[in-house]
Amino acid sequence: MNFEGRKYVLIAAVLAIALIFVLRLFWIQVVDDQWKASAASMAERKITDYPARGFIYDRKGRLLVANTPVYDLMVVPREVKDFDTAAFAALISVPVEELKLRMTAARKYSIHKPSVIEKQITAEQFAAISVHLHSYAGVYGQSRTLRTYPPRVGGHMLGYLSEVDARKVAADPYYKAGDVIGVGGLEQYYEEQLRGRRGVRYVLVDVHNNIKGSFKEGRYDTLAVEGKDLHTGIDLDMQRLGEQLMQHKKGSIVALDPKTGEVLCLVSSPAYDPELLVGRVRNTNYGILQRDSIKPLFDRALQAQYPPGSIFKLVQSLVALDEGVINVNTSFACNKSLVGCHNHPTATSIEQAIQFSCNPYFYHVFDRIVERKLDKKSRFRDAALGLGEWEHRVRSFGLGEKPKIDLPSLKGGNIPGPAYYNRKYGEGRWAFSTIYSVSIGQGEVLTVPIQMANLAAIFANKGWYYDPHVVRAVGHPDSVQARYREKHIVEAAPQWFDHIQEGMRRVVAEAGGTARRARIEGITVCGKTGTAENPHGEDHAVFVCFAPMEDPQIAMAVYVENSGAGGRWAAPIASVLIEQYLTDTITRPEVVKELIETDLIAKEKFFRKKPKKPRRR
């Protein structure tokens, strides 16, 4: 056979094969109803793969927050056929009328896109439901995860999950209706890291809701990326004990590692069980908590603003020593005609002044700070100059501005300077005699508990601190966040802190000290009590401390509202927690029992009183 003959044979073979394919396609698409019915019965479905949200661990690797699987029931309205509403409503335990409303809402949203008709079904419940889903075309299960809190502590600090609102969906293209988002605490602050990135799968399903395979061999699928874990500095044992000690009380506990700025314990009381804000009961329980008169949702550790009371005398001492308006052996008589005080020996040094917490002493100290004859022609301009320098130094302690802690919804307190008093009284119309209450941490000075704990860390470190932070690492436990390695130096020379520490030691250890109940056998505790005056009832108590004096491992602030002086309740609470943290034991169970059983909230109604003069701090 010549070349021309072979060419025609090859062409004929190709045409024959093509004719066979055309005839087969014609038969499948036009003649044979079986293939037509099969194609009509197949539907493409988009399934969202929600990644596992990152876990949250304490400093020893113990779980604070984990995940538990749940399922949402989804419906694609255009796929729904011969739907027995009554039977399906009974299957998922939803009233028929409610189910009809949900189906109507789904159709209004989109007949092509899936909508949720029942949320957050447990794995056990879904197992019973799923065997019947083949009878309900267009309905399928979508897996998700809910948060679970194995220790059931730290609700304010950890936060919770809630469904995104329309504003968030409009503002952030990542979210869509029905998604959940972190609200409050670490869940909100680290939302982007915790949530991961969701994936998408496209599958083909038949009329019986059976998945027949991937669409286009998975060409358009994307993989979900799991959220990153958070490794915190929280000590679970300390957190649990702190919440027990503060039950039936209003207040807060903030404990820090002064060497790193890591938060060891963050208690706001009244607290709440974080499991109450999980799943389908969240909205109901949130409403109950929100209406509760003792305000369990209010985060007192980060948002409550109090006068610091006598704690502020520590700051006043440092500023005065560094500015040279007093020396370590300066002595002032306890003149109660200037400002109220309790009975104690005359303070002949700054250490004794802190030990006795002498109000008139610090009245004189602040007077020397504010009016220093910097402007000899005008007492008012002189006061403005002195107070301006004082404000600059005090703000270097992290006061008067929002802390840079990795939690949302913070308050920053108030440090009043010349501009503040010019607005309040008018320029040239105020001097020391107008603002002397600031000398003992009252008046317009306001702080929040996290700032007071950081102040204790500054005293422990002799003049420096790292920004307090709950999370030490994101992802890998050793990947410490760089932003929390910046050391802040306060405006006071380090040598003065030795005298402040000695005064704080005497407050706890020596006769005449106001925090004798904070003593721990074998551990040198340095502390200072304070009273945040409350014109509407019993005063609020505060105690700041660090230990051990020789090598500080923990710094703390404890607030107990409506409980009187700081030494009665706040000091022993701090003492028990320090002992537990440093020694992993508690040698005073009778003290712990008394603290846990005392109900100060119940007693609060008996403590209503009129405004009073400053008294012992």
Query: In this predicted model, what pLDDT tens digit does every residue of 173-203 receive, in sequence order?
Result: 888 877 889 999 999 999 999 998 887 777 6
Is it the case that residue 508 has pLDDT exceeding 50? yes
pLDDT (tens digit per residue) in 250-283: 999 999 999 999 999 999 999 999 999 888 788 8
Full DSSP string of 444-460:
T-BB-HHHHHHHHHHHH
Q: Which of 232, 250, 266 is the last residue of a domain?
A: 232
pLDDT (tens digit per residue) in 333-387: 999 989 988 888 899 999 999 999 999 999 999 999 999 888 888 999 999 999 9
Same domain, 224 and 332: no
For residues 383-409, average pLDDT: 95
Residue 260 in domain: yes
For residues 428-434, average pLDDT: 93
Same domain, 145 and 195: yes
Which residue in this structure is represented by tokens 């980060």? 302
Instruction: Express as a percent the part of the chain with pLDDT over 90.
Output: 58
Which residue in this structure is represented by tokens 């700081």? 566
**pLDDT score recorded for residue 611:** 44
Q: Give the ranges where 372-448 is alpha helix by DSSP (H).
A: 379-395, 418-425, 432-435
Residue 40 in domain: no
**pLDDT score recorded for residue 120:** 81
Is it the case that residue 163 has pLDDT exceeding 90? no
Same domain, 316 and 344: yes
Confidence of residue 501 (pLDDT cuts 50, 70, 90): very high
User: What CATH number does the domain containing 335 carry?
Assistant: 3.40.710.10
Residue 85 in domain: no
**pLDDT score recorded for residue 557:** 97
**pLDDT score recorded for residue 65:** 96
Return all residues near 126 (Cβ < 8 A) that are at least 6 apart.
70, 71, 141
Cβ atoms of 292 and 272 closer than 8 Å: no
Lookup: tokens for 133: 């889903």
Full DSSP string of 22-62:
HHHHHIIIII-HHHHHHHHH-EEEEEEEPPPPPPEE-TTS-
pLDDT (tens digit per residue) in 82-97: 888 888 889 988 898 9
Same domain, 134 and 241: no
**pLDDT score recorded for residue 4:** 61
For residues 105-113, average pLDDT: 85
Residue 225 in domain: yes
Q: What pairing do the DSSP bridges indicate for beta strands 56-57 and 230-232? A: parallel
Cβ atoms of 93 and 141 closer than 8 Å: no
For residue 128, count other CB atoms closer than 10 A to its CB: 11
Domain of residue 143, residue span: 45-77+101-232
Same domain, 195 and 288: no
Is it the case that residue 613 has pLDDT exceeding 50? no
**pLDDT score recorded for residue 303:** 96
Same domain, 270 and 368: yes
Return all residues near 323 (Cβ < 8 A) that are at least 6 apart.
369, 389, 393
Same domain, 468 and 499: yes
The structural domain count of the chain equals: 2
Residue 12 in domain: no
Same domain, 189 and 261: no
Compute and round to an integer the Cα radius of gyration of the chain: 34
Which of 126-130, 154-158, 398-402, 551-555 is predicted with the least confidence, judged by mean pLDDT? 126-130
Give the three-class secondary structure for 63. Answer: strand
Same domain, 246 and 341: yes
Q: Which of 181, 211, 232 is the last residue of a domain?
A: 232
**pLDDT score recorded for residue 83:** 83
Cα 542 to chain centroid distance, Å, stands at 21
**pLDDT score recorded for residue 142:** 79
Confidence of residue 478 (pLDDT cuts 50, 70, 90): confident
Q: Which of 232, 265, 288 is the last residue of a domain?
A: 232
Which residue in this structure is represented by tokens 């990947």? 479
**pLDDT score recorded for residue 33:** 45
Cβ atoms of 355 and 510 closer than 8 Å: yes
Full DSSP string of 210-273:
-EEEEGGGGTT-B--BPPPPEEE---HHHHHHHHHHTTTS-EEEEEE-TTT-BEEEEEEES---
Cβ atoms of 474 and 230 closer than 8 Å: yes
Cβ atoms of 448 and 412 closer than 8 Å: yes
Q: In the chain, how long is the greatest CA-to-CA distance? A: 132
Residue 127 in domain: yes
Which residue in this structure is represented by tokens 């100060």? 600
Residue 151 in domain: yes
Which of 44-58, 353-367, 427-441 is predicted with the least confidence, judged by mean pLDDT? 44-58
Give pTM, 2 decimals.
Answer: 0.84
For residue 580, count other CB atoms closer than 10 A to its CB: 21
Same domain, 276 and 249: yes
- To 5 degrees, how large is the angle CA 582–CA 58–CA 573? 40
C-alpha span between 199 and 49 (Å, rounded): 5
Same domain, 440 and 454: yes
Report the candidate in 22, 26, 32, 48 with the shortest Cα–Cα distance to residue 116. 48
Return all residues near 590 (Cβ < 8 A) that are at least 6 apart.
none
Mean pLDDT over each residue of the chain, to the nearest integer? 87
pLDDT (tens digit per residue) in 7-50: 666 777 777 777 776 676 665 555 554 444 344 445 566 667 77
User: What CATH number does the domain containing 117 carry?
Assistant: 3.90.1310.10
Residue 89 in domain: no
Same domain, 317 and 338: yes
Strand partners, 465: 488
